[in-house]
Amino acid sequence: MPSVVKRVQQKNVMNEKNVGHTAISYLLTIIAIGIMLYIGVKYINSVDTLERAYASWAFLFVVFGLIGFFAIDYFDNKQINIYPKKFNEINMFRFVIATIIMFIGGMYIDFVTRLTIRYALSDTDLILYYIFAGICEELFFRAFLLNFLIFILTKKSKLPHPVVLLIALAGSSVAFMAIHLQVYGSNQAMLVSTLLGGFLLGGGYLIFRDISANMGAHALKNALGYINLVKF
C-alpha cells in the first residue's frame, strides 16, 4: 500500500504533492456544508415539490462535502487531515492562476452552450445553494473521486500513467455529468456544459493539485451565472 501511495503521489501532471487542505479550502468546506444543511433543513418539509427536491439535493451535497473533506489527503499521503495548513504554506500565485484559468474556461463553456435554465427558491437561498453546492461537488468529484480512480488504476493496472490520468479524468467527468441527469434531463446544452466543465475542473486539479482553486473557480462561475440568470 505505501508504495502505491508513493507512486500516486509522485506521478501527477506537475509532479506535485496534493496540496490537501489549506486555510482557504478548509473555511470554504465548513461554510459550504453549513449552508447545505441550512437549505436542507429549511425546505425539506416544504409543500412545494421543487423546494423539497432542492432540500434533498442539499443533504446529498452535505455527504459529498464530508467525503471530500476527509478523503482529500488520504490518497496522496495515506492519512486523513482535518486541520488546514497554515496560510503561509499556500502557494498564492498558483492558487490565483489556477482559479482564473478554470473560471474563465468554465464561463467560456457556458457562453458557447448558451445556458438559460432557471429554477426557484428564495433569491438569497438560491444563490447560496448554487455557490456552495459547487464547492461540495469539487470536494467529491475532484478531491475524492478523481483521486480514488487514479489510486485504483495505478494499483490494479499496468497502464502508462498518462492513460491512467485520462481514464480517471473521463470517469470523474462522466460521473459529474451523470449526477446532474435528474436535474437537467434531456437538456443537451446543460449536459454538454457539465461534462466539459468536469474535464476542465478535473484537468485543473490534476495540473495544480489545489482543491481551493477548484472551489474558488466553481463558486465564482456559479455566482456570476446566477447574476446573469444562467443556472448550471
| Position 230 confidence tier, pLDDT thresholds 50, 70, 90 | very low
Q: Nearest CA to 139 among 225, 89, 201, 78?
A: 201
Report the 10 Å Cβ neighbour count for 118.
10
Report pLDDT for 227.
63
Q: Which of 45-54, 160-169, 197-206 has the lowest mean pLDDT?
A: 45-54
Which distant-in-sequence residues (6+ apart) come within 8 Å of 232 by Cβ?
110, 115, 117, 130, 190, 193, 194, 197, 221, 222, 225
CA distances from 101 to 20, 97, 218, 221 (A): 20, 6, 11, 11
pLDDT digits (tens, 9 = 90+) for 128-180: 888 899 999 999 999 999 999 999 999 898 899 899 999 999 999 999 999 98
The owner of cell 502557494 is: 91
pLDDT digits over 5-28, tens only?
344 444 444 445 666 788 888 899
